Structure 1
Amino acid sequence: MPDPLSPIARPSVRQVAFLLVTCGVAFFWQLGGLGLLGPDEPRYAQVAREMWQRGDWITPTLGGTTWFEKPALLYWLIGLTCQVTGFNEWGARLPSAIAATLTVLALGCLRPIHLGWTAAVITATSPLLLAFARATTFEALLTFAITSSILMFYLSFRATSQGHLKTAAITRWLVYVALGVGVLAKGLVGLVLPLGSLALFMLLTPDLRQRPWQAFWRCRPVLGGLIFAGVAGLWYAPVIAQHGWAFIEEFFIAHHLQRFTSNRFRHPGPPYYYVPIVLAGIIPWTPFWLVGVYRAISDGLTKPNPEKASMTDSQLLIRLALCAFLFPLLFFSISGSKLPGYILPAIPFAGILAAHGLWSLSTKTRLPWLLLASLSQIILYVVFQIAIHKNFPEKDLDTWHLLLGGWLITAFGISAMYADEPSQATVRLAGVSLGMVLWLTTYFPVIEGRFSTKPLATIIAREARPGEIVAFFRCREYAPVFYNPGHTTCCDAAREPNQLPDPAAVEAEVRKRGGLLVIFPQRELAALQSAAYTLRPLGTAGRFTLARLVSTQAGEIGHD
């Protein structure tokens, strides 16, 4: 049996199998069991469908209007997966699930295996990655690209120091390929985050800091820049050539510069915004992450050894992980716009730090930290139960099931505390997290009815008459646009679904068409009451209602 501390050891069959099962449950179980949520998921899926229907791989559109908010890589991948699955939830979310899996597997390949495998399991069962791996967003793709670029740099650096020049060259060029993929995934942030992290690493590493230009030219920036430009240019070159300043102004100025420097897009947050997100986003591994950060700082920064010419592989990896975690945290903390998903690229490196923290503890000192980890899972379970009880009154809080689940989590936590080694504790704590994933997916039907407007799409498909369109009153929901393209129109100049901003506009549209389907927030029912038409509710989904408005004026009964 290989020594887990050996840098050349390989993961065992059991470790590989557990990692694959973990990814399967965490990222793919019931992936399509929940309707597309919020404005982003159905909107991005619709952009992908329009690109593929037009056969245009260059210009993203939404309702025929150019959509330059994000790059095209996600749309390409959604189109590819939907050729197999159809344009549905599975196809729309599959690229994110695959990207998250590849990120985890990349961590699992790190040496020494006790660190890489533990980091992979921790990352796979972190709630923040779990959420975005199941979402039609750009974050999981960006995280995979950034993780790959930084880990390839680590492999190239290590191979160079060991005299493996061929391996160093191959991994060096892969760094630039990954940087290009990152820019295709979500724009310039795919370049800024890894380069900023690597620059911080070089500043904190004495042998690199003392010879910065030598280290810089060792990276072969000229040829590497050409490789990066070749990958990123697959989309940026033709889209700029085709759309020119209109693309540059919206994509780079509005959605890069202004998004970072201002609150134009109404996503404000205090400087400490991401601290609670990270602490909660890696439960139950938060205690070990705290230990890992403390050990990385105390061992590597507060006790520098300028005389030491090189570091061990583990020391090098931990220092790099610390820099790759800190730079995104600092970068987005000063941004004018803040959203939880922005910090996702830091989570794999938080996983490495947490793995380092777990393995750095002795058997005796590990017990209280495992207790804290188990308690965090119990608290998370209770919070979920209370949230379900509060948001879904039809689901009574069953005291017996609550206690049974709490008892099982406690039992697994206690068993983790008495595990012979950290890898066994990792398996048991991860098992609890996967169990909660299986439990939460049983609530998908009620979650869909409360947080997705897909149920309204089913009613539209059943009730809509030929030529009858769906309009939106004081709301913007893109799920009906994706699920009912034949009865919805998208988009106006603001790239929003067919909007009726006030009662007068509703009356005019009903008078024009004779009848209309309208989706509106339930609280706006009184505002829609009018003598100019009759209102018949057809169904509800969450806080939204679908109704048919029929003109009361004689002779106006047709539809366009």
Structure 2
Amino acid sequence: MAAIEPGASGLEPDTAVRKTSNFSLKPSERHALLAILCAMLIVRILAMFWYPFVDSTEARYAEIARKMLETGDWITPQFDYGVPFWGKPPLHTWMSALGMKIFGVGHFGARFFFLIASLGLLSLCYIWVRKLRGSDLALAATAVMASAGLFFGASAFVVTDMAMVLGTTMSMAGFYACVADKSSHRLWGYLFFVGLAVGLLAKGPVAVVLTGIPIFLWVVLGNRWLQLLRLPWITGVLLAALIAVPWYLMAEAKTPGFLSYFIIGEHYKRFLETGWQGDLYGSAHARPKGMIWVYGFIAFLPWILFAPALATRGRQVLEAFRKDQTGWHGYLLAWSLSPLILFTPAANILPAYVLPGIPAAAILLVSVWTTVFGQPGRMTRLWVPLSMITVAVIVLGLTTVAFFFPNTLNVRSERELVLKALETSPDIAINYWGDRSYSAEFYTRGRVRYVTDAAALEALNTNDVRDALAVYSHDIPLLKDQLEAGFVDLGRFNRRHLFVEPPLQ
């Protein structure tokens, strides 16, 4: 049976939006999707324990959170002891630090609340879609979202983006439910403003821009200006300000200069200047203009592979949008494209920047697919669970290899090297030659030291402390004389060799 075309009933948009799709799943299909989702959750939890923190992104944010917990400074995240981290607001740091406070300093504690945020996001989308399009379509959309490659990988990853995606999704779901459906509870309107506050605390004004782009397009193209009056603007803005503004004021008061660097540097110069030199905490991620679209296609694997089938029904897809008087499909399309539109001209981007559009892309794919094709056919029933299982198996395989055969993947993590050094002697002083390693700092609980010149390296032989030294393979010939003078090579651990001094006499 074909899905009901939104608005085809002739009802007013506010009423039509509440008509649910005729799309339905068999009980066995619902059970299969739920079983696969549960299996994927187990795989993701295993990865939380088994997969190491890798340099530099996740290890850096985990180490900043560990420092927050150690120092007790919950206002200003620290890039190094006493050095403020102005690059991002602290919501992700609070999440990670709180998790480690509850569960102990380690992978699970640092990642726990990111998993909770991801589950909360999936639950919100399920409730929202169920309210507007029925429970079966909501379940299918949630399954697609959960198993999208980048979303699944980032769902328990210590990084700023997932916390921001929770905020933008709260805002987008709350806005549509409030303005497009008169019968919606007023709480949906407040959810819009709470989501803005979450986004501001997760990543800053960019979250407001990512929310504003699709809403502006949807309102302007659909001439929906009067519907904006349904939002509780005065109390909502006050609520958002009450949640987000106090930290910004306290951060500027505690470390003057924060607002200037964060607003102008991180949001203007990073966006427009290729190779921006003002970054205090790393390097700019210069990419060709428009590369964000490539990232978007890759991030939505395997589900982007279903797009060609829709392309063969191009006329029906256009009809699905044209007959949609509620603006449901148009809203989802604008939302899914928002990060791609924003970052097309950007000089510095990362793949994670496309994450805010994935919830909408998943819902849009399922909604348009059911409108065009109706009930799932034999191939759809086969490929949907197979795609989900494939994503889970790939992640499980990588996680298993990283845990049981850590040197096989050559991941950018110092976990195995640090564990080997501490196995040699719990009190050994661990030194690194070359660039900074945040994963080494995390696994040594901040005890790692950096050696940057020959004199400091030679001094290790006479400091009356048993030292370990981590060196890149390509640097070993340059340091041959100093290493042979007092160190024993214990072998290579991923990217570096571990050298240790003999026990002190």
Bin for the TM-score computed over the shorter chain: 0.7 to 0.9
* Post-superposition offset of 1:249: 3.2
Partner of 1:225: 237
Q: What is the deviation of 1:454?
A: 0.2
Matched AA of 2:92: L
- Residue 12 of structure 2 aligns with which residue? none
Select 1:132's aligned residue among 132, 154, 162: 154
Letter in 2 for 1:335: A
Deviation at 1:455, TM superposition (A): 0.4
Matches within 5 A, 1:157-556: 157-160=179-182, 164=183, 167-205=184-222, 207-208=223-224, 212=225, 214-245=226-257, 247-262=258-273, 263-264=275-276, 265-289=283-307, 298-299=318-319, 311-312=325-326, 316-362=327-373, 418=378, 422=380, 426-445=384-403, 448-449=406-407, 450-451=410-411, 452-464=413-425, 466=427, 468-485=428-445, 487-488=447-448, 498-508=449-459, 510=461, 516-530=467-481, 533-548=485-500
User: What secondary structure does 1:529 align onto?
Assistant: helix
Q: Specify whether residues 296 and 185 from structure 1 end up closer, same or farther in structure 2 by C-alpha distance, changes over 3 A only.
A: farther
SS in 2 for 1:298: helix
1:97: how far off?
Answer: 1.8
Give the conservation status (yes or no) of the 8 Å contact 2:317–2:368: no
Return the offset for 1:85: 2.2
Q: CA deviation at 1:137?
A: 1.0
The answer as to whether partners of 1:292 and 1:354 remain within 8 angstroms in 2 is: no
1:61 aligns with 2:78: yes
Quote how far apart the aligned CAs of 1:425 are: 5.1
1:40–1:78 CA distance, 2 compared to 1 (3 A)? same
Q: How many residues align?
A: 468
Alpha-carbon deviations, 1:500-521, whole Å to 9, x = none? 3333442355555676322221
Q: Does 1:112 align with 2:112?
A: no
Letter in 1 for 2:437: E
1:204 match: secondary structure: helix
8 Å Cα contact 1:58/1:235 also seen in 2: yes
Matches of 2:75 and 2:218 in 1, distance apart? 36
Contact 1:22 1:121 (C-alpha < 8 Å) held by counterparts = no
Closer, same or farther: CA 348–100 of 1 in aligned 2, 3 Å: same
1:347 Cα deviation after fit: 1.1
Distance 1:329 1:296, change over 3 A: farther
- State yes or no: 1:39 paired with 2:50: no
Alpha-carbon distance between aligned partners in 1 of 2:309 and 2:248, rounded to the nearest angstrom: 42
Q: Deviations over 1:302-350 (max 9, x none)?
A: x5x8xxxx824xxx32211110111210111211111111111111111
Label 1:199 to 1:545 Cα distance change in 2 as closer, same or farther (>3 A).
same
Q: d(CA) in 1 for partners of 2:38 and 2:368?
A: 24
Residues 26 and 179 (structure 1), Cα distance of their counterparts in 2 relative to 1, 3 Å cut: farther
Is contact 2:84–2:255 with CA below 8 Å preserved after alignment? no
| CA positional deviation for 1:4 | 10
Helix, strand or coil at the partner of 1:56: coil
The counterpart of 1:152, out of the listed 165, 168, 174, is 174
Amino acid in structure 2 at the alignment position of 1:248: L
Shift of 1:89: 0.7
When residues 72 and 281 of structure 1 are mapped into structure 2, their CA distance, relative to the original with a 3 A threshold, is same
Contact 2:56 2:439 in 1 (8 A): yes
Give the corresponding residue for 2:143. Answer: 121
CA distance in 2, matches of 1:27, 1:296: 37
Deviations, residues 197-239 of structure 1 (Å, cap 9, x unaligned) = 211221221x31xxx3x44444343332211111112422221
Higher relative contact order (CA 8 A, sep 6+): 2
- TM-superposed CA distance for 1:101, in Å, is 1.8
Distance in structure 1 (CA, Å) of the matches to 2:84 and 2:261: 10
The 1-side partners of 2:39 and 2:482 are apart by 58
Question: 1:103 & 1:158 partners in 2: Cα distance?
Answer: 21
Distance 1:14 1:477 in 2: 45
Task: Give a deviation string over 1:404-457, Cα, whole Å, max 9, x none.
Answer: xxxxxxxxxxxxx625xx567533432343344444433232564321210011
After superposition, give the CA deviation of every residue in 1:176-209 in whole Å (9 maximum; x if it has no partner).
001101111112222111112211221221x31x
> Counterpart of 1:537 in 2: which secondary structure?
strand
CA 1:510–1:465: 2 relative to 1, 3 Å: farther
For the aligned residue pairs, the C-alpha RMSD in angstroms reads 3.2
Structure-2 separation of matches of 1:456 and 1:237: 41
SS at structure 2 position matched to 1:175: helix
- Structure 1, unaligned runs of 5 or more: 367-416, 489-497, 552-556
Asked whether the equivalents of residues 299 and 354 of structure 2 are also in contact (C-alpha less than 8 Å), the reply is no
- Counterpart pick for 1:141 among 159, 163, 171: 163
1:147-197 deviation digits (Å, cap 9, x = unpaired): 12101111112322xxx2xx3421111100011011111122221111122
Unpaired runs of 5+ residues, structure 2, are 6-18, 277-282
Change (3 A) 1:53 1:439: closer
TM-score w.r.t. length of structure 1: 0.75
- Conservation of the 8 A alpha-carbon contact between 1:26 and 1:130: no
Q: Using the TM superposition, give the Cα deviation of residue 256 of structure 1 relative to its aligned residue in structure 2, in angstroms.
A: 2.3
| TM superposition shift of 1:486 | 6.3
Contact 2:53 2:59 in 1 (8 A): yes
1:27 corresponds in structure 2 to 44
Letter in 1 for 2:401: Y
Q: State the distance in 1 between where 2:80 and 2:344 align.
A: 34
Determine if the alignment matches structure 1 residue 87 to structure 2 residue 105: yes
- Shift of the 128–531 alpha-carbon distance from structure 1 to 2, 3 Å rule, reads closer
Q: Secondary structure at the match of 1:283?
A: coil
Give the AA of the match of 1:548.
Answer: V
Distance in 2 of aligned mates of 1:290 and 1:243: 52
**Separation (CA, whole Å) in 2 of partners of 1:158 and 1:115:** 19
Give me the whole-angstrom Cα distance separating, in 2, the residues matched to 1:354 and 1:507. 61
Output the amino acid matched with 1:192. V
Distance 1:344-1:327 versus aligned 2 partners, 3 A rule: same
Identity among equivalent pairs (%): 22
Match of 1:523, as an amino acid?
H
Q: Distance in 1 between matches of 2:405 and 2:351?
A: 20
Aligned to 2:14: none
- d(CA) in 1 for partners of 2:33, 2:373: 26
Does the Cα contact within 8 Å between 2:271 and 2:346 map onto a contact in 1? yes
Do the aligned partners of 2:177 and 2:188 also contact (CA within 8 Å) in 1?
yes
| Alpha-carbon distance in 1 for matches of 2:315, 2:423 | 61
What CA deviation, in whole Å up to 9, does each residue of 1:56-103 have, x standing for no partner? 211212431222222111121122222332111111122222222222
